[in-house]
Amino acid sequence: MSICPKNKHSKARRDKHRASWKMTAPALVKCSKCGALMMPHRVCKACGSYNKKEIIAMDAE
């Protein structure tokens, strides 16, 4: 037995449901140590620090 709707939904009702499926830009914050843009609550990819503490030792370039 499969799921089968009893009545047809209108195009407006269908499109109203699909309107909430949109892409959003990721929230970015400045790193407190180096100032690079990073996602909040994650280790900085540029300097390897989190909350002003070095978590990952990065190679000096």
Say yes or no to pLDDT of 42 above 90.
yes
What is the domain count for the chain? 1
Q: Look up residue 4 and give its amino acid.
A: C
Asked whether residue 60 is assigned to any structural domain, the reply reads yes
Would you say the C-alpha torsion 40, 46, 50, 51 has a positive or negative sign? negative
Asked whether residue 7 is assigned to any structural domain, the reply reads no
* CA–CA dist 56, 49 (Å, integer): 7
* Per-residue pLDDT at 24: 87
Q: What mean pLDDT is predicted for residues 26-51?
A: 94
Please give the residue range of the domain that contains residue 36.
Answer: 25-61
Number of helices (H), then strands (E), belonging to the chain: the values are 1, 4
The per-residue pLDDT of the chain, averaged, comes to: 88
Name the token pair of 29: 């914050």
Whether the model pTM is above 0.75: no
Asked whether residue 15 is assigned to any structural domain, the reply reads no
Distance between first and last Cα of the chain: 63
Residue 53, helix vs strand vs coil: strand
Asked whether residue 3 is assigned to any structural domain, the reply reads no
Asked whether residue 1 is assigned to any structural domain, the reply reads no
Asked whether residue 55 is assigned to any structural domain, the reply reads yes
Asked whether residue 50 is assigned to any structural domain, the reply reads yes
Asked whether residue 36 is assigned to any structural domain, the reply reads yes
